[in-house]
Amino acid sequence: MAPNGGTYFFILMVAGAAFAEHPGGMPSDKAALKDITKKLMMKCHSKGYPAPKMMLLKSFFNSSDLPAGDRTADQSNTPLSTFLQILNFVTVDTSRDSVIQQTMDASEKMMWNCSNLPAMIKMMRSSSEPSACYMKAFVAPLSWSALTARTEDSNFDSNDYDSLLWAAKPVLEDIPYATMKLPPKVEGKNMKKMMNMLREVHESMTDDQRSEVLNWMKEQITQSQFNCTMRPPPKEKSAPIHRCKQSLKWLDLDALTMMGPYLTLLSPDDVDSSPKEKLCDFFRSAQFNSRMTRATKMKPSLGKKFIQRIQECFSEKQFPENMDKLGPLACYYDAPDLTPDLSKNLLAQLEDCDSPITSKLKKRLINSVMSNSSSAQALLDLGSSVTLLSPKQLLAVPKKNLKDVLKSLGPSIKWTRSQLHILVKKQLGDKKCAEMLGKDLMALQSVAAGLPSCVLKNVKAQEILDDPEGLRNVSKKMRKGQLKAMLQGLRGNLSTSELVQRLQGPLLHSVSLTRLDKANITSLEEVENKTWSLTQAAYLAKKMRDLKQLQYRRLHSVLQGITCKMIDAVADSSTLDMAQALTDTPQWLSKVQAGCVARKLFMTLEKERSDYFQTITEKEMDMIPSSLLLYLPPWNMTDLPDSVCPVFIDKMETANLSLLPPLAPSRPALTQRALLCLAKGEDLTGLTAADVLRLGSLLCELQPSTLRLMAPDVIKFSLQAMVSCQHIPQRHRTGLIQLVSEAFGSPSNWSSDTLESLGPLLLLDERAISALPNKPWMKDALVFLRSRLTHTSEALKRKIFDLTTTASNEARKKRAATSDNTGNTVAPTELVIEELGKDNVYWTAAELDMMSNSTFLATVEILGAISGYSAEQLDVLSKKAVEAFGPVSQMTESVVVQLGCITQGFDSSDLAKLPISLDTLEDIGHCGWRDSQCLRRWSRCGRVLLNTTT
Confidence band for 234, pLDDT divided at 50, 70 and 90 = low
> What's the pLDDT tens digit per position in 251-262?
999 999 999 899
Which one-letter DSSP state was computed for residue 242?
P
Q: Which residues of 278-312 are buried (b: 16+ CB within 10 A; e: fewer)?
A: bbbebbeeebbbebbeebbebbbbbbbbbbebbee
The pLDDT of residue 561: 94
> What's the pLDDT tens digit per position in 249-296?
999 999 999 998 999 999 999 999 999 999 999 999 888 888 776 666
> What's the pLDDT tens digit per position in 50-92?
887 765 555 443 432 333 344 444 444 455 677 777 888 787 6
Q: Which amino acid is at 383?
A: G
Which SS3 state, helix, strand or coil, does residue 700 take? helix
Residue 16 to residue 473: CA distance in whole angstroms: 54
Dihedral (CA of 372, 376, 379, 381) sign: negative
Q: Which segment of 194-198, 303-307, 457-461, 705-709 scores lowest on mean pLDDT?
A: 457-461
Q: Where are the alpha helices (DSSP H) in 776-852?
A: 778-786, 794-805, 810-815, 830-836, 845-849
Contact indicator for 862, 419 with CB cutoff of 8 Å: no
Contact indicator for 894, 421 with CB cutoff of 8 Å: yes
Output the pTM of the full model.
0.84
Confidence band for 882, pLDDT divided at 50, 70 and 90 = very high
Contact indicator for 652, 674 with CB cutoff of 8 Å: yes
- Total Cβ atoms within 10 A of residue 947: 11
Among residues 590, 526, 574, 580, which one has the least CA distance to residue 553? 580
Give yes or no for residue 656 having a pLDDT over 80. Answer: yes
More confident residue, 671 or 52: 671
The pLDDT of residue 810: 39
Residue 589 to residue 50: CA distance in whole angstroms: 30
Among residues 97, 85, 42, which one has the least CA distance to residue 620? 97
Contact indicator for 801, 839 with CB cutoff of 8 Å: yes
Residue 576 to residue 833: CA distance in whole angstroms: 56
Contact indicator for 627, 595 with CB cutoff of 8 Å: no
Q: What percentage of the chain carries pLDDT values higher than 70?
A: 84
Average pLDDT over residues 583-589: 90
Average pLDDT over residues 93-107: 37
The pLDDT of residue 5: 42
Dihedral (CA of 6, 10, 16, 20) sign: positive
What does R_g of the chain's alpha carbons equal in angstroms? 32
Q: Which segment of 444-453, 455-464, 861-870, 933-942 scores lowest on mean pLDDT?
A: 933-942
Residue 473 to residue 113: CA distance in whole angstroms: 60
Number of H helices, E strands in the chain: 56, 0
DSSP 483-533: HHHHHHHHHTTS-HHHHHHH--HHHHHTS-HHHHHHT---SGGGTTTS---
